[in-house]
Amino acid sequence: MVRKLNKIDKDPKLLPNHLRDINPIRSRFKQLSDMNKEMMDKKNNKYDTDDYLSDLLKVLKIKSTVVGVGGAGNNTVSRLNDIGLEGTETVNINTDAHDLYYSNSDKKLLIGKETCNGLGSGNDPFIGAKAAEEDVCRVENSLNADIVFITCGLGGGTGTGAAPIIAREAKKKGSIVVSFCTLPFNSEGSERRLRAKKGLYELSKFSDTIIPLPNNNLVNIVPNVPLLTGFKIMDEILIRSIREVVSLINNCGLINIDFADVKRVLQKSGKYPSGLIGITESLGSASDLITKSKLAIRNPLLELETKDVDKCLVSVTGSHKLTLSKVDNIVTTITNEISNGAQVKFGTAVDPNIGKKIRIMVLGRGPISPYVKAAIDNDSQFFNNLMN
């Protein structure tokens, strides 16, 4: 029997506003469940209907927002928008009207019109923070999501000063906050390094997971590439990391990893926000699978201790020819790299456009970035040693 589509099936926007806009997801679920219970009691119905389940699926759809803050963050979000990112909303926030105009995102916010006059923050994080506070209501209204990804560069003015304010407002609304931030090259000087440390400390306060990506590590891995290429590589790393996490949440695979699994890994536990992410692609031979699986869990850009992982998600994407033995090889290799007591869950998905490649993504909770620890502990000497 084919079920007739109701109005909400045809247009999910017809869901009542108080259900579409509620955050977080638990509240939306409870509201609709209570409404359904009242209807069931009136009709003396003991079972859930397809209409109710259809409505529920729309209410439970995970809302995610990617926010680019400052010049570096705007560049990342613009690239994400250019390549296409389904199932999420993108927002660019800046104090510089010129940069914001030429960026690409679903929504744009020019913050601090009185403070900055559209001319930027002048590399001053205090001005960046003041600009965000000036427009805090507009910022808050743009953050209606279950999970908010923030991307920025630390060491300048707008990203360093405004990103923590944006993270704070997202946390107030019950969102999980995942922050990706780049740290300056050592050659950019001690003043920029100091600003980055303070910005990392402030951003860590309001982030569940934080992934600092030091530009210096890129120098160690690919020292001979042109400067512009180096920035593009770092941008690509940020883009792929965000895109893969969003895809993991929104898409159902053959063996599925759901939002509850992702939430358990991303949510903050303890004084320091942790976070490990690694993405690699293998050509599928036995030796290459092992090499690329180890590379995913031992991301050389992050400098993390893999044995500290206590929860781990492994996502494997391949063609319809992906075999169980290859998946098992990948998961076993990664499991051997982390502690024996770690909880591991894996999922698989089919991508018809991936060809002969196999994509491996690892999300882990537990390892604390030494940069985050040094920033929170206010250990300037350790932070400077890491940056050198």
Residues 147 and 284 in one domain: no
Query: 101-143: per-residue pLDDT in tens?
Result: 999 999 999 999 999 999 999 999 999 999 999 999 999 999 9
Residues 309 and 344 in one domain: yes
Rounded Cα gap, residues 242 and 251, in angstroms? 14
Q: Is residue 33 part of a domain?
A: no
Residues 319 and 348 in one domain: yes
Residues 76 and 217 in one domain: yes
Residues facing 191 on adjacent strands? none
Pairing of strands 107-110, 147-153: unpaired
CA neighbor of 333 nearest in space, from 322, 323, 344, 341: 344
Full residue range of the structural domain in which residue 284 is found:
276-365
The domain total for the chain is: 2
Q: Is residue 15 part of a domain?
A: no
Listing DSSP states for 355-388 in one string gives TT-EEEEEEEES---HHHHHHHTT-HHHHHHHH-
Residues 221 and 324 in one domain: no
* Per-residue pLDDT at 3: 37
Q: Is residue 27 part of a domain?
A: no
**pLDDT class for 45, splitting at 50, 70, 90?**
low
Q: Is residue 16 part of a domain?
A: no
Residues 284 and 188 in one domain: no
Whichever domain contains 336, its CATH number is 3.30.1330.20
Residues 283 and 312 in one domain: yes
Query: 266-325: per-residue pLDDT in tens?
Result: 989 888 998 899 999 999 899 999 999 999 999 988 889 999 999 999 999 999 999 999
Alpha carbon separation from 233 to 187, 226, 238 (Å, rounded) = 19, 11, 9
17: pLDDT strictly greater than 60 = no
Residues 157 and 293 in one domain: no
Residues 83 and 124 in one domain: yes
4: pLDDT strictly greater than 70 = no
Residues 141 and 172 in one domain: yes
Q: Is residue 214 part of a domain?
A: yes
* Per-residue pLDDT at 47: 66
Q: Is residue 252 part of a domain?
A: no
Distance, C-alpha 211 to centroid of its chain = 9
Residues 284 and 334 in one domain: yes
Q: Is residue 2 part of a domain?
A: no
Residues 123 and 191 in one domain: yes
Whichever domain contains 159, its CATH number is 3.40.50.1440
Is residue 249 within 8 Å of 262, Cβ to Cβ?
yes
366: pLDDT strictly greater than 70 = yes
Residues facing 28 on adjacent strands? none
Q: Is residue 324 part of a domain?
A: yes
What SS3 state is found at 37?
A: helix
Is residue 171 within 8 Å of 330, Cβ to Cβ?
no
